[in-house]
Amino acid sequence: MNKLFYPALFHKAEEGGYWVSFPDIPECLTEGDDMDDAYEMATDALGLCITDDIKEGIELPKPSNPNEIKVDDDSIVVIVCFDLEAFQKNKVLVL
């Protein structure tokens, strides 16, 4: 379980940039000024939600099939990867 992949919806924001939601983790939301920034923020947000769930002993949800996620005209499905092992190594170095 070192790398986890979850589909995210990247929605075009009215003020520019994107806001991001995860169908499998509704509490996981973020935004970014452009696609690169939004992806980086989505990775961080996903990591925080996943590590919180692990700490709390909550079972992680199974990722949805990206082909089965309904999107509107202003959204796209993007697979976001979170590397748990790398996150844990970085966290130890920061402490």
| CATH number of the domain where residue 62 is located | 3.30.160.250
Distances from the Cα of 79 to the Cα of 26, 58, 69, angstroms: 16, 22, 12
pLDDT at residue 95 in the model = 39
Number of domains within the chain: 1
Would you call 59 helix, strand, or coil by DSSP? coil
pLDDT at site 93: 44
Q: CA 27: distance to chain centroid?
A: 10
pLDDT at 91: 63
Q: What pLDDT is recorded for position 66?
A: 94
- Domain range spanning residue 79? 3-94
- To the question of pTM greater than 0.85 for the whole model, the response is yes
Over residues 14-68, the pLDDT tens digits come to 999 999 999 999 999 999 999 999 999 999 999 999 999 988 999 999 999 999 9
